[in-house]
Amino acid sequence: MPDVRTPSLVDQISEVLRGRLARGEWPIGARLPGQKDLAVELGVSVVVVREALARLRADGLVQPRQGAGVFVVATPDMSRGFRVARIESTDHLRLAAVLEVRTSIEVAAAQLAAMRRDDEDIAACTQAFRALRASLGSGADAVAEDLDFHLAIARASHNEYYPQLLRHLYEVLMRAVQTAREQTRALPRRLEQVQDEHAGILQAIVDRRPDEAGRVMQRHLANSAKRLAIDIPGAGA
């Protein structure tokens, strides 16, 4: 029987951390305590802390730096604006609606990235792709790395609103994405398929082929919906 307490506990801890950020306990640029230290201090497991931090990260409040820790990049009052309530993974109708919005944003962002990307963008997208591949290969759920890859593409569009909107939608979809990743691991070659899709998107952007970048991104997101058993009319067209 699934543990129904975990989502509410993660909600509580993410709100506690959000409150501490709002009070200025950790100002912008500050490094957060380690996950183990926070877990001991808050009396919860490291898994709960990790998921709570993932929510703050998806909301644009914190950002991990490899080998250095997790740092504050914004405060809650700075991130207020367009909001969508978090959706349970069983609410397929609302998940389909959010995925439909995400598809329109990401297809356009991929097309613009293919047209506007520079050498720094290519390096960032390639690094994010390699980090995602390594995380999946290690057996991790790689949800955070997946977000980083898609955000790198959105930033390469050179339109600041694409990464902002995507970050928020990803937070809404976080539990559904985790569910899809669990299901993907149970099926042969599904992880390889996911990475093949990512590789195709990256290559189209590197080659400056906007139509192909949009097409492959649309196919990838349509397949992501299928992995969640969610039907988005016209998504695979």
Which of 114 and 62 is assigned the larger pLDDT?
Answer: 114
Q: Does 25 score more than 70 pLDDT?
A: yes
Domain of residue 20 covers: 5-79
Same domain for 98 and 74 = no
207 DSSP 8-state letter: T
217 contacts 108 by C-beta, under 8 angstroms: no
Nearest-angstrom CA–CA distance, 230 and 99 = 9
How long, in residues, is the chain?
Answer: 237
Residues 49 and 113 in one domain: no
**Residue 2 has what pLDDT?**
41
Residues 178 and 111 occupy one common structural domain = yes
Structural domain includes residue 110: yes
Backbone phi and psi for residue 127, each to the nearest 5 degrees, phi listed first: -65, -40
| Residue 84, domain member (yes or no) | no
Q: What is the pLDDT of residue 22?
A: 84
Do 37 and 131 fall within a single domain? Answer: no
Q: How many structural domains are present in the chain? A: 2
Clarify whether residues 62 and 153 are in a common domain. no
pLDDT at 79 over 70: no
> Is 64 found in the same domain as 130?
no
Regarding whether 96 and 70 lie in a shared domain, the answer is no
58 and 165 inside one domain:
no
- Does residue 87 lie in a domain region? no
Domain boundary among 79, 100, 120: 79
- Same domain (yes/no): 109, 211: yes
Do residues 113 and 217 touch, judged by C-beta distance below 8 A?
A: no
pLDDT reading at 75 higher than 60:
yes
pLDDT in tens, 177-213: 666 666 666 665 677 888 899 999 999 999 999 999 9
Q: SS3 of 159, please?
A: coil
| Shared-domain flag, residues 67 and 160 | no
**Which of 25, 44, 79 marks a domain boundary?**
79
